[in-house]
Amino acid sequence: MVRGHRCLSEAQAMTDHPTLAALAADLASGRTTSRKLVEACLAKIDDPAGEGPRAFMHVDREAALTAADAMDKLRAIKAEPSPFAGIPVSIKDLFDIKGQVTRAGSRALDDNPPAEADAPAVARLRRAGFVVIGRTNMTEFAYSGIGINPHYGTPKSVYRRDVGYVPGGSSSGAAVSVADAMAHAALGTDTGGSCRIPAANNGLVGYKPSQQRVPLDGAVPLSFSLDSIGPLARSVACCAALDAVLADQPVVPVAPRPIKGLRLAVPTTVALDDLDEAVSAAFARALEALSAAGAIIEKIEVPEFNDVAPMSAKGGFTAAESYAWHRYLIVAHGDVYDPRVRERILRGEALSAAEYVDLIGARKSLIARAAARLSPYDAVAMPTTAIAAPTIAELADDKAFTRANLLALRNCTLINMIDGCAISLPMHRTGEPPLGLMLAGVNGADRDVFEIAAGLEKVVRG
């Protein structure tokens, strides 16, 4: 439930890329209308020089315009369902939208019937008055952190379009839709970084909530043990507002927590291994800025993180649980899968029931031990990804793809495996490759993470 207009106190952002609060203020004052916002997003999608055809799998043009007109009429009589009513958002193709086929970025589900109802996450956005503008492209079945899709094309990252860098995955089109103002926020999913990685690669904020906050129903699963549903947007406050809507909680302003005195743990175990030069430099610069602002930076060993790679050696939860979901579909339509995706799913076939049960027990222990180690700190800080986004062209090589995918996913996966929550903030300077600083907390620390992130958001932006 969305209550009140107090969340509108956030400062106005750039005209072309406003925050949700700025848009809500413009709608409330009459400076704009929902129809104008939707028409502007549609124009961006239709731009022949833009990424619209690759970022979107389906544009819900007429329905979006109809919904916009309805929100404008409700606002005219002061009956809008929330301050955000009329703001256009995009939906990852993983989610059911009533009357549409959910393809999950694949051709294997082309024959599926249209969904009979919206996924709860989509329904909650609609109930707050957000306008669904279309379905965004993604890695097929959400199975990579890179964002390449051989079926529908790969949207380019916002960085150096003349070269063509990967957008990050699996919520690739979601991030590009927001970065290019084709939508003003996006609904994504995150199993091992699929909200945070594309946010980092496109200069956005991406959030992975504590898993239990948002129902997974109506979304094609990758790993029901690790999947989370979260937003991609332009600020911490935007993501906090969307997270509250998705969690069916009141939207209340995020009070930025003072940086001075914050205890931030920087794990030296795994999370800082094999960082490329750009990431290492930007992360060091961010930590220096936070330290100068009064944060207490403590580099600590987190031996629990050493357990994650062995648990995933045979594909882990993702391979086992995705194979269980795909095993019949892959027999019928395996020939149309992206071979890289099919290969990773089929790894789950070799995992025995006993090994899966062992995984469950090992993760339960991992979560408890990691929570005990990290709970004394206000947040954990690490680079969102170990590498800057590579070019699309260089990942035509399977070995290069595999290495980049592992390094893109690694740090984010640590948090999913310990059942935590995390946010990625831009930490690059203008002209540099987009990079993310991840702040994470233990399960249930969502509000703390938002308040801390809001307090240091501007400081870490370089």
Point out the residues that are catalytic. Answer: 92, 170, 194
d(CA 163, CA 111): 36
Query: Are 134 and 359 within 8 A, CB to CB?
Result: no
Which element (helix H / strand E) includes 424? strand 421-426
Query: Are 43 and 88 within 8 A, CB to CB?
Result: no
Question: 58: which 2 tokens?
Answer: 């389906």
Q: Cis bond leading into 194, ω under 30°?
A: no
Task: Give the contacts of 164 (CB within 8 A, at least 6 positions apart).
Answer: 156, 391, 392, 393
Question: 281: which 2 tokens?
Answer: 């430099």
Rounded to the nearest 10°, the torsion over CA 75, 88, 434, 137 is 170
Angle between helices 34-46 and 20-29 (to 10 degrees): 130
- DSSP summary character for residue 206: E
d(CA 92, CA 217): 14
Enumerate the β-bridge partners of residue 425.
437
DSSP-derived pairing of the beta strands 379-383 and 263-267: parallel
Residue whose token pair is 């743990």: 265
Nearest to 352 by CA among 323, 383, 391, 393: 323
d(CA 360, CA 382): 26
Query: Are 22 and 234 within 8 A, CB to CB?
Result: no
Count H helices, E strands: the chain?
A: 15, 11
What's the alpha-carbon Rg for the chain, to the nearest Å?
21
d(CA 414, CA 285): 23
- DSSP summary character for residue 371: H
d(CA 421, CA 403): 25
Query: Are 427 and 461 within 8 A, CB to CB?
Result: yes
| Size of the chain, expressed as the number of residues it contains | 462
